[in-house]
Amino acid sequence: MTVLADALKTGLLAKGERGELVARTLLTVAHDEAAKHDPSTTFELEFHRPIQLAHFLEKFLAPDVWESVRHAKPVHAFDDALELEAAFAESWINFSHWVQLGSHEMFSWECATELLKRGAAMQTYDNQQNQDLGMALHNGNLDSAIDIDRTGLCQVQVKNSVKSERVAPNPEAAGKCPNTCPILSIVMQLGVGEEYHGPLVEINTTSIQTDTPAGNTRSSTSSDPTDINRRHYSIVLYGCTAATYSCVGGHAATYATLLRTPALFHNYSRDKYPDLLAAAHELSPNMNKEVMFWTN
């Protein structure tokens, strides 16, 4: 954490990039904690091995938040909807590093499957719509082959704004889903601080009744097995403290510093001279007729 804080003191990264960096750090810390305490596999490599998604989320989230998330229902919660922990009971993550994709089109199910084979998670291309990070999920037992028919996705969107932003994750941001595996969308509202007094976690779900009306007429809300939101779980997390994320530990103040964009002239050596500071603020990167020539 100290290394990251020192590296960012110069304001090298923009605010959005800082949010993504913190999100990747939190996810990586949670991954490593889960790897050290996961009894479900016997792989010799401690950190480069499959980890059950539920176990990872338990190490990622604070206990009270995890208790809400584990019982979450999908976006369209029909009568037979599984809770999140049951839906992802056979879902596994496996990554040891992050790979930045080279184009918007690379955020796809095919790419997710290939990176899962390589043990890599995805950092989306710059300004990817609706998504910043992605972790491919293998669904099934660990003896089954990794292929696109068994690949699910945990997709993450990061917000580093003081005010929370309304987000509607798209379960098919990676393209039309080629299978029936569950999908998890996580929105990390990292920027909200002490002025935020809302819940630490929100579950985006709508209960839908499937009772058929009298006369055996077809209900407009009848269960559609092709509705992807029946297996799409969407959660929103607020803040960046140990109250939301177990993996923050005692580093909440450091994370807050990492997320905060420094003032433009915070390292300006002549900031004690008002005239010079005012002149610096008036500097323009654009050439125009008025400033084109030197004046005496």
Q: Which residues of 92-115 are buried (b: 16+ CB within 10 A; e: fewer)?
A: bbbbbebeebeeeebbbbebbbbb
In angstroms, the CA 269 to CA 231 distance is 56
In sequence order, which ranges of the chain are alpha helices (DSSP H)? 2-7, 15-36, 53-60, 63-70, 84-87, 109-118, 252-259, 274-281
Q: Could you identify the residue written with the tokens 């998890």?
A: 184
Please report, to the nearest 10 degrees, the dihedral formed by the alpha carbons of residues 126, 252, 11, 23 taken in order. Answer: -10
Residue 86 pLDDT: 97
Q: Tens-digit pLDDT profile for the chain (296 aa)?
A: 665 666 566 555 555 588 999 999 999 999 999 988 655 555 555 667 899 999 999 999 999 999 999 999 999 999 999 999 999 999 999 999 999 999 999 999 999 999 999 999 999 998 888 899 999 999 999 999 999 999 999 999 999 988 888 889 999 999 999 999 999 999 999 999 888 899 999 999 999 986 545 444 444 444 577 899 999 999 999 999 999 999 999 999 988 988 886 555 555 566 677 787 677 667 655 544 454 444 44
Is there a domain that residue 171 lies in? yes
130 is in which domain, residue-wise? Answer: 2-269
Residue 170 is encoded by which pair of tokens? 């798209």
Is there a domain that residue 281 lies in? no
C-alpha distance from residue 93 to each of 56, 118, 141, 291 (Å): 8, 12, 12, 57
What is the Cα 253 distance to its own chain's centre?
A: 21
Is there a domain that residue 126 lies in? yes
Residue 38 pLDDT: 58
Is there a domain that residue 36 lies in? yes
Is there a domain that residue 294 lies in? no
Is there a domain that residue 278 lies in? no
Element (H, E) at 156: strand 151-159
Is there a domain that residue 31 lies in? yes
- CB-count burial class (<10 Å; 0-12, 13-18, 19+) for 292: exposed
In angstroms, the CA 170 to CA 247 distance is 27
pTM: 0.81
Structurally, how many domains does the chain consist of?
Answer: 1
Q: Could you identify the residue written with the tokens 């305490």?
A: 37
